[in-house]
């Protein structure tokens, strides 16, 4: 192939891409989208981290799109019930879902799970990262100030301590199981259906320890009712600057965040998916009010486009599924 031929091919390719981009407004104008409200499914309980972030984002999208984005909670089975229902929604641009990480691993834990996270929906855009923290109720585990303190306390206990999480197979569950192996100590897992009820019983003293989504625990940490003793990653320092990470407390390489992003049903028109991603980029990267609201709630605004989100989803699925298999974790 000559340089001239290559140049012509590149020009034609670039021209086709530009033409496709210019068609998007025309396609949307022709369809009139959006002509009515958009439903955003949240497959987790109201008040939890995914729900909180979804409501913040929905408000901003409503303003930019000129139509209400309403939240519909469909919790249960680590997000798998709502997600399985959502993927059957009409692919007309009026159905979105804020995908949360528990739903990432549900297919591994439920024998009759009805979706494949790698191929049964469209990744639209990531919206936030959700730092996590090892949080304790000081009344239940007195004298614990750091992660090494907790490990010593657990090893000295005559019976295994109880720790909680937002559900079987949640990031909090898997992270604590990995930490137990690394630290050589034992605790008994007591799962709940969502972060909000888990934190409620942590506050009540029914359980003493949780690897918690910061969004759920932060108000109680600030009020002095709970104490954060270790962070999942340096990102969490934006929210809890005085707390060391797990890695800094003797476990180098232990570094992760949960995250959330928008998904759409398969076959949703690409022009609509692109418009939603574009509006999401604008509010996540440029709207200071949204960024501050997320930080106040315990999350950090973080945009990735659909391709980047899908690559991240695939990588995290492979990473955490290895722990699920090694621990033989199942919800059935």
Asked if residue 279 lies in contact with residue 64, where contact means CB atoms within 8 angstroms, the answer is yes
- Label the pairing between strands 161-165 and 187-191: parallel
- pLDDT at res. 45: 85
16 pLDDT exceeds 50? no
- pLDDT at res. 313: 94
- pLDDT at res. 244: 97
Closest-CA residue to 103 (of 27, 42, 26): 42
Backbone angles phi and psi of 87, in degrees to 5: -65, -10
The arithmetic mean of pLDDT across residues 309-331, rounded, is 89
7 pLDDT exceeds 90? no
192 pLDDT exceeds 90? no
Mean pLDDT of all residues belonging to the chain? 88
Element (H, E) at 258: strand 258-264
pLDDT band (50, 70, 90) for residue 166:
confident
Asked if residue 108 lies in contact with residue 52, where contact means CB atoms within 8 angstroms, the answer is no
4 pLDDT exceeds 60? no
- pLDDT at res. 47: 83
Closest-CA residue to 124 (of 275, 302, 315, 259): 275
pLDDT band (50, 70, 90) for residue 201:
very high
Q: State pTM to two decimals.
A: 0.78
33-130+257-327 under CATH 3.40.50.300, yes or no: no
Strand partners, 266: none
pLDDT band (50, 70, 90) for residue 12:
very low
259 pLDDT exceeds 60? yes
* Alpha helix segments (H runs only) across 120-269: 147-156, 171-183, 195-204, 214-222
- pLDDT at res. 68: 98
- pLDDT at res. 28: 55
Asked if residue 161 lies in contact with residue 155, where contact means CB atoms within 8 angstroms, the answer is no
Higher pLDDT, residue 216 or 228 = 228
- Whether 33-130+257-327 and 132-249 share one fold: the answer is yes
Q: Round to whole Å and give the CA distance between 39 and 74.
A: 12
Higher pLDDT, residue 106 or 164 = 164
How would DSSP label each residue in 261-321? EEEE-TT--HHHHHHHHHHHHHHHHH-HHHHHHHHHHT-EEEEEEHHHHHHHHHHHHHHHH
Range 132-249: architecture per CATH: 3-Layer(aba) Sandwich (3.40)
- pLDDT at res. 2: 43
Residue 246: DSSP 8-state: T
- The structural domains of the chain, with segments of one domain joined by +, span 33-130+257-327, 132-249
Cis peptide before 34, with omega less than 30 degrees from 0?
Answer: yes
């Amino acid at each position: 192939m000559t340089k001239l031929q290559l140049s012509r091919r590149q020009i034609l390719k670039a021209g086709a891409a530009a033409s496709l981009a210019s068609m998007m407004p025309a396609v949307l104008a022709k369809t009139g989208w959006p002509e009515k409200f958009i439903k955003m499914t949240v497959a987790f309980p109201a008040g939890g981290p995914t729900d909180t972030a979804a409501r913040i984002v929905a408000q901003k999208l409503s303003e930019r799109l000129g139509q209400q984005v309403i939240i519909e909670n469909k919790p249960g089975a680590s997000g798998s019930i709502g997600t399985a229902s959502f993927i059957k929604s009409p692919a007309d641009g009026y159905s979105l879902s804020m995908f949360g990480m528990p739903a990432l691993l549900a297919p591994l834990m439920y024998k009759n799970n009805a979706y494949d996270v790698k191929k049964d929906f469209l990744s639209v855009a990531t919206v936030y990262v959700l730092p996590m923290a090892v949080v304790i109720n000081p009344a239940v585990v007195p004298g614990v100030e750091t992660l090494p303190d907790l490990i010593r306390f657990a090893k000295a206990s005559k019976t295994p301590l109880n720790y909680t999480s937002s559900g079987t197979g949640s990031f909090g569950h898997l992270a604590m199981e990995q930490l137990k192996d690394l630290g050589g100590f034992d605790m008994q897992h007591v799962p709940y259906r969502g972060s909000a009820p888990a934190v409620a019983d942590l506050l009540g003293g029914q359980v003493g320890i949780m690897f918690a989504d910061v969004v759920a625990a932060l108000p109680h940490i600030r009020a002095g009712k709970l104490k954060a003793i270790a962070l999942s990653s340096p990102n969490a320092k934006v929210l809890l600057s005085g707390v060391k990470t797990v890695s800094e407390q003797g476990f180098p390489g232990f570094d992760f965040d949960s995250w959330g992003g928008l998904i759409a049903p398969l076959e949703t028109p690409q022009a609509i998916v692109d418009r939603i991603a574009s509006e999401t980029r604008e509010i996540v990267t440029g709207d200071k009010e949204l960024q501050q609201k997320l930080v106040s709630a315990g999350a950090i605004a973080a945009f990735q486009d659909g391709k980047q989100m899908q690559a991240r989803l695939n990588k995290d699925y492979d990473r955490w599924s290895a722990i699920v298999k090694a621990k033989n974790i199942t919800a059935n």
